Amino acid sequence: MRILLVEDDTTLCTQLREELTEAGYIVETAQNGIDAHHLGATEPFDAVILDLGLPQLDGLTVLKKWRAADHTMPVLILTARDAWHEKVDGMDAGADDYMVKPFHVQELLARLRALIRRASGHASVELQCGPVVLDTRTGKVSVNGRSLALTGHELRVLSYLMHHPDTLVSRTELTEHIYAQEFDRDSNTIEVFIARLRKKLPQGLIKTVRGLGYQLVTPE
């Protein structure tokens, strides 16, 4: 899952990026409103963590511009502003959640997981497709109750597919959501990860639609 972290405090931005990366996310950062608006408007993200007090363009304006352009990614506002009317303004501008600094990182991660799950139509912390279960809290995957060992990239591919079951996902879309922007995005490597996953998962779970992409098929 790919996250946009918008925070102008360099120290906090670095700390959060490390925590999010450790939790398995691909993280892009912006430290001013203009860069944040450009990234959110041109790159696909599964969620955004947005500070309000940004230089050049404030966070609330950035959020309003995204929503006016029909960019629907979940947005979690993270700010030192704790007045109730500012929370209302943030939610009315299109935010999905609101946290006030200082905060606990584990709560931030839990809220982020919930936003991403809900955005793809899932209520439970565990995603299930037939005998395959992914615990979004820990990143652990099991098949018929037995733990499954996956590499980081295999887990990212499977996680994205499990968040979007029975949906045709192109190689380009997968590539955009499992690699950072500065990474040499070679969509051919997606085929390698899919092939590895097929060897570890029950037969027929991942379907290839020739020329279009892949689909995680929910067993009847």
- Fold annotation for 126-216: Arc Repressor Mutant, subunit A (1.10.10)
Q: For the chain, how far is it from start to end, CA to CA, in angstroms?
A: 27
- What is the mean predicted confidence (pLDDT) over 142-165? 94
Q: How much is the pLDDT for 219?
A: 84
Give mean pLDDT, residues 44-65. 95
Q: Is the pLDDT of residue 75 over 90?
A: yes
* Residue-level pLDDT at 187: 56
Q: What is the pLDDT of residues 167-217, one digit of tens each?
A: 999 988 998 888 776 555 565 788 899 999 999 999 999 999 988 999 999
Q: Where are the domains of the chain?
A: 2-119, 126-216
Of 1-10, 39-48, 85-94, where does mean pLDDT reach its minimum? 85-94
pLDDT tens-place string over residues 169-181: 998 899 888 877 6
Model pLDDT, residue 86: 84
Give the span between the Cα atoms of 132 and 204, in whole angstroms. 12
Query: What does R_g of the chain's alpha carbons equal in angstroms?
Result: 18
Annotation: CATH topology of 2-119 = Rossmann fold (3.40.50)
What's residue 158's pLDDT? 96
> Distance between CA atoms of 211 and 99, rounded to whole angstroms?
43
> What one-character-per-residue DSSP string does 52-108 give?
SS-SSS-HHHHHHHHHHTT----EEEEES---HHHHHHHHHTT-SEEEESS--HHHH
Condensed to tens digits (0 to 9), the pLDDT of residues 86-140 reads 889 989 999 999 999 989 999 999 999 999 999 988 989 999 999 999 999 999 9
Average pLDDT on 17-23 reads: 95
Residue 40 scores a pLDDT above 90: yes
b/e burial code for range 111-141 (CB count within 10 A of at least 16 → b)? bbbbbbbeebebeeeebebbebbbebeeeeb
Nearest to residue 121, comparing CAs of 154, 75, 164? 164
Closest CA to 75 of 85, 83, 65: 65
The whole-number pLDDT of residue 126 equals 94
How large is the average pLDDT for residues 25-46?
95
CB proximity list for 33: less than 8 A, separation 6 or greater: 6, 54, 55, 56, 57, 58, 59, 61, 62
Give the pLDDT of residue 181. 65
Strand partners, 4: 28, 48
Percent of the chain with pLDDT over 90: 77
